[in-house]
Structure 1
Amino acid sequence: MGSCGLRIQATARPILPDMLEDKSVEPKVAIVVLAAGMATRMGPEGGYKLLATFDGVPLVRRLALTAIASKATSVTVVLGHRLDDMRKVLSDLSLNIVTNPDYASGMASSLTAGFAAVEPEGADGILVMLADMPGVTTPDLNQLILAFQNSQGTSILRAVSQGERGNPVILPRSMYEAVSRLEGDIGARHLIETSELVVIEVEIGEAARIDVDTPSDVIAAGGVLMSDPKF
């Protein structure tokens, strides 16, 4: 989730939760949840993965609630595929919904739509959250946000699992313009790999690497496929 210039290997510096400390100046972080994709790997009979239920809650709603409970200043969810169904399970939550009519073109269009909606709020960083990662928790998000604040809002933050790169990530304000130039099925990973900024890695465990792309993934992660979820 265009070209951003020369490819330069980002510098990674691991950081653990017990290394984090409060700062008096706290850059603001907004969350953008990417939930517009078609989930084609689910197959014609697999149902829509973001409407699969986990503990009785549709996945997209579960991740939205996780984001809302964090220290982020706002939560924006980008929708596209199955728009009416997705709106239904989010309609009573305190968040912003952005519709991406070009969602079929790839992740870049959802990133640019989300960032364009959040940028006027003046957030110093935007945490990009994928809606198909059921293991990500509110404490995970807060670890990333606090680490970003401790970096004075100038670094890229990336969740890792035992040193392996994962999600979510936080992109600082200096990268917003690069996001606006993205095209096709290119996401934040491309921007991180081509950035000159320091990348701070925050260990959150296996949740950073677990997403659900297929029906078996959903089941293995503890989900239940639903064609008409209720909550």
Structure 2
Amino acid sequence: MKSRPAVIVLAAGTGSRFGASGHKLTQRLGASSVLGSTLRHAIASHLPVIVVTTEALADAARHHVASRDVVVVPEVGTPGPHSLGMGYSIAAGVSARPQASGWLVLPGDMPMIQPATLLAVAAALEHHPVTYAQHRGRRGHPVGFAAELYSELVTLSGDEGAKRLVARYPAHGVDVDDAGVLLDVDTEADLEKLRLAHATQPPYAAPVAR
């Protein structure tokens, strides 16, 4: 069977801007949580899903994906030889699925992104080294990387993520009718806006497995 791009859900950040009411990814959203909703949509795409998270959120991730698909990394600020941050999380996720035909980087705090959007960005990797979703001309997530970039992805570290990599290669924007590619949760006010959008969002049509 031909390998497919894998979705790397990043859930290892501290969420320090959110406030004192707990981690933003565990906050209620509909019948689930922010992270749970993100994972539900990722799983519905029928692409392989890997969650990169910390020990504090690992059990929450395991409620939705198998333990083998949860990659636990040290929390930011933990002493060690590596420069922790988004770059390190991406490298850990890519390293966990080295045989994938590409990787979609999906922040765990973007629960409105639809399965069809993930599939559209993944499909574009057949023709472009870097792809990303965009809505009405505005650049959003996920960001996709083709298999040819593996050796560079696995050496990422620090907080910049893959920004330098995206700048180095031609990036192709995939137009989608999905405003969720622009909606994330940084603050409690963001969460309230997201809850309103979630309550009025029509049910998505789950893609047929291929």
TM-score class, shorter-chain normalisation, is 0.7 to 0.9
Alignment counterpart, residue 107 of structure 1, candidates 75, 86, 107: 86
What is the CA distance between 1:102 and its match in structure 2? 4.8
Give per-residue Cα distances to partners, 1:115-145, cap 9 Å, x unaligned. Answer: 11111xx111001111111210111112212
Partner residue in 1 for 2:154: 180
Residue 222 of structure 1 aligns to a residue whose secondary structure is: helix
Residue 142 of structure 2 aligns to a residue whose secondary structure is: strand
Q: Considering only aligned residues, what root-mean-square deviation do their CA atoms show, in Å? A: 2.0
User: Partners of 2:91 and 2:39 in 1: how far apart?
Assistant: 19
Residue 8 of structure 2 aligns to a residue whose secondary structure is: strand
Segments of structure 1 that go 5 or more residues without pairing to the other structure are 1-24, 224-231
Alignment counterpart, residue 110 of structure 2, candidates 129, 133, 152: 133
Greater RCO, 1 or 2 (C-alpha within 8 Å, sep 6+)? 1
Alignment counterpart, residue 167 of structure 1, candidates 141, 144, 155: 141
User: Partners of 1:177 and 1:87 in 2: how far apart?
Assistant: 27
Task: Give 1:11-26 correspondences, 5 Å limit.
Answer: none
Give per-residue Cα distances to partners, 1:198-220, cap 9 Å, x unaligned. Answer: 32211223222111101111111
Partner residue in 2 for 1:5: none
Partner residue in 1 for 2:4: 28
User: Partners of 1:209 and 1:190 in 2: how far apart?
Assistant: 21
The letter for the 2-side match of 1:113 is A
Partner residue in 1 for 2:183: 210
Task: Give 1:43-122 correspondences, 5 Å limit.
Answer: 43=19, 45-72=20-47, 74-80=48-54, 83-84=55-56, 86-95=57-66, 96-104=69-77, 105-119=84-98, 122=99
User: Partners of 1:32 and 1:179 in 2: how far apart?
Assistant: 12
Give per-residue Cα distances to partners, 1:147-200, cap 9 Å, x unaligned. Answer: 324x2xx431111121122110110112121122222101123311122xx322
| Runs of 4+ deviating beyond 4 Å | none
User: Partners of 1:132 and 1:92 in 2: how far apart?
Assistant: 17
Partner residue in 1 for 2:207: none
User: Partners of 2:62 and 2:190 in 1: how far apart?
Assistant: 27
What is the TM-score when the length of structure 2 is the normalising length? 0.81
What is the CA distance between 1:27 and its match in structure 2? 5.8
What is the TM-score when the length of structure 1 is the normalising length? 0.74
Contact 1:103-1:109 within 8 A present in 2 as well: no
The letter for the 2-side match of 1:115 is V
Partner residue in 2 for 1:146: 123
Alignment: residue pair count: 187
Larger radius of gyration, structure 1 or 2?
1
